[in-house]
């Protein structure tokens, strides 16, 4: 069984991090080169990020990518 991306956890962390650090969506857009509409969809949880977008956002937030993946055990146990 493969690890599963935890999109809900990622979009919540993204929004909280952005607000805690005082960044606007425009700021994130400029720092990551992710279009505004794409970023808005990602942050709202309406669309998962591409691998490139995910990588850029994790790098910006200084988060490790593995933090947003469920292990087989957590998938099985909820």
Give the pLDDT of residue 22.
97
| pLDDT at residue number 5 | 85
Q: Beta strand 69-70 with 4-5: parallel, antiparallel or unpaired? A: antiparallel
- pTM of the predicted structure, to 2 decimals: 0.82
For the domain spanning 4-77, the CATH number is 1.10.260.40
Residue 24, Ramachandran bin (φ over 0: left; ψ between -120 and 50: alpha; else beta): beta
| 3-class state of residue 69 by DSSP | strand
pLDDT of residue 36: 96
Please answer whether residues 64 and 58 qualify as being in contact, where contact means their C-beta atoms are separated by less than 8 angstroms: yes
Q: Please check whether residue 39 is in contact with residue 28, taking contact to mean a CB–CB distance below 8 angstroms.
A: yes
Q: pLDDT tens digits, the chain, 78 residues: what are they?
A: 467 888 888 999 999 999 999 999 999 999 999 999 999 999 999 999 999 999 999 999 999 888 888 765 654 555
């Amino acid at each position: 069984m493969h690890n599963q991306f935890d999109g809900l956890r990622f979009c919540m962390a993204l929004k909280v991090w952005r607000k805690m650090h005082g960044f606007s969506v425009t700021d994130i857009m400029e720092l990551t080169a992710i279009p505004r509409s794409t970023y808005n969809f990602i942050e709202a949880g309406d669309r998962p990020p591409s691998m490139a977008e995910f990588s850029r956002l994790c790098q910006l937030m200084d988060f490790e990518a593995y933090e947003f993946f469920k292990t087989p055990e957590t998938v099985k146990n909820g």
